[in-house]
Amino acid sequence: MPPRLVVRRLHKSFGPTRALAGVDFEAAAGEVHALVGENGAGKSTLVKILAGALAPDEGEIALDGAPYRPSGPPDAAARGVAMVYQELSLVPHLGAAENVWLGREPMRRGIVDRDAMRRTTAEAMAILGHPGVDLDVPVRRLPVAIQQVVEIARAITRPKTRILILDEPTSSLTRGDVERLFATIGRLKREGLSVIYISHVLEEVQAVADRVTVLRDGTTVGGGAIADLSAAAMVSMMAGRDVAEIFPRSPRTSGAVVLSVAGLAGVRRPLDAGFELRAGEILGIAGLVGSGRTELLRALFGLDPVRRGEVRVGAVASPASPWRRLAEGVGLLSEDRKSEGLALALSVADNLTLSKLTGLGPPGFVLPGRQAAAAGAWMARLGIRAASPSQSVRHLSGGNQQKVALARLLYHDVDVLLLDEPTRGIDVASKAHIYELIDALARSGKAVLLVSSYLPELLGVCDRVAVMARGRLGPARPVAAVTEHGVLMEAMGQS
């Protein structure tokens, strides 16, 4: 059969920035086609053009053999292209049925036919594997996974939907929810829909996709049948270089204990945590969402109150506050970079130097030239892609934003790094770069406490791993002595 969607020589620029520089892309009916690439490679721009949110500068698009140039998202939806963004676009105080039919409510004798809305929504939810959902409860009270299914139901209830675009659909889902989503995608595929799947998690791409297209710097650089491409091959295409090892592990020797925790309990989480972290070591903490991992790091850094227990930095046990911890050489990378980790309205240079302004000018002053030079050095070292140190951090890709947050800790020259989900929401090539950086930090004698929901990351990067379950931290064991299955069982309290 001819391709359902054909994209040829697509170009799009935003002022001097070229987002797409000649993209070629095809998707067939009844297939899942993955779109992968680094942050800033052009994936979001491409799918926004397909969804009608942007117009291309040059190029051709054909949908089932007919020219396709939607005038806006409603036109794209009317012509069969639906998109589910990573940031869900539901009306929180309305029910599932009202969200599914918002703006196109079925009418009967001039009155909204609510019975028809509930019936068709219930049918769609059953097709998607979630029958029995209360369709009238406000969606803000539904789990995130169910909210995402409501978004997909809105797409498939449109009678002409031919292409469904899913942008990072698993970023907020548990493992069980991911498996149910994949089953849903399988059903849609069997019904003849074309699914364009965007993800930074290559294991997911290999599990759900039939074919893949790789973008780099706004152009198509490769792709093919997923069965013919290894994860290493895809990463190499994304990065434009051979990536021999996604999880580098240099020879390193642990030193003295730099952080010691005993019987630590917060107001709600953690309930009981104790461990020792040594210089030159990477200690990983695994656990399910809600187990208390983030609360542990926040308590260590002084952001959350401590109910009992002791925290020693080196040989000193002192009351915790963020400024004191920074003074002691302890830095935190928040899992929520947009709300806590970065000041989005400020420049790269401001974000990078904000915690330590001394040395950037006479006492009480910051000289812009010195600040830009200091920021530029770290931008070069971490490969932060920005127009200049004065560019607003808001306009950087997720991977580059994360590197700015990490660069601030390095600029501050902390000795203990508390990293909470340091690679969440960033592309594989940026992940590989951050893994290399973490490995180099440990090799230089820094101590790293790494919280992650991605088990291959913990097992690939860390020296030891401890598991937190229901607020209690288990013993740290050498990474060679743990397995993904064992970690999961322990996290669920089954060990």
Report the pLDDT value the prediction gives residue 379, as an integer from 0 to 100.
93
pTM assigned to the model = 0.67
Q: What is the 3-state secondary structure (H, E, C) of the chain?
A: CCCCEEEEEEEEEECCEEEEEEEEEEECCCCEEEEEECCCCCHHHHHHHHCCCCCCCEEEEEECCEECCCCCHHHHHHCCEEEECCCCCCCCCCCHHHHHCCCCCCEECCEECHHHHHHHHHHHHHHCCCCCCCCCCCHHHCCHHHHHHHHHHHHHCCCCCCEEEEECCCCCCCHHHHHHHHHHHHHHHHCCCEEEEECCCHHHHHHHCCEEEEEECCEEEEEEEHHHCCHHHHHHHHHCCCCCCCCCCCCCCCCCEEEEEEEEEECCCCCEEEEEEECCCEEEEEECCCCCHHHHHHHHHCCCCEEEEEEEECCEECCCCHHHHHHCCEEEECCCHHHHHCCCCCEHHHHHHCCCCCCCCCCCCCCHHHHHHHHHHHHHHHCCCCCCCCCEHHHCCHHHHHHHHHHHHHHHCCCEEEEECCCCCCCHHHHHHHHHHHHHHHHCCCEEEEECCCHHHHHHHCCEEEEEECCEECCCEEHHHCCHHHHHHHHCCCC
Report the pLDDT value the prediction gives residue 244, as an integer from 0 to 100.
53
pLDDT single digits (tens) 114-140: 899 999 999 888 887 788 888 889 998
Report the pLDDT value the prediction gives residue 299, as an integer from 0 to 100.
95
Give the CATH number of domain 5-239: 3.40.50.300
Report the pLDDT value the prediction gives residue 18, as an integer from 0 to 100.
84
Domain 257-491, classified CATH 3.10.450.50, yes or no: no
Residues of the chain falling short of pLDDT 50 = none
Report the pLDDT value the prediction gives residue 181, as an integer from 0 to 100.
83
CATH 3.40.50.300 intervals, the chain? 5-239, 257-491
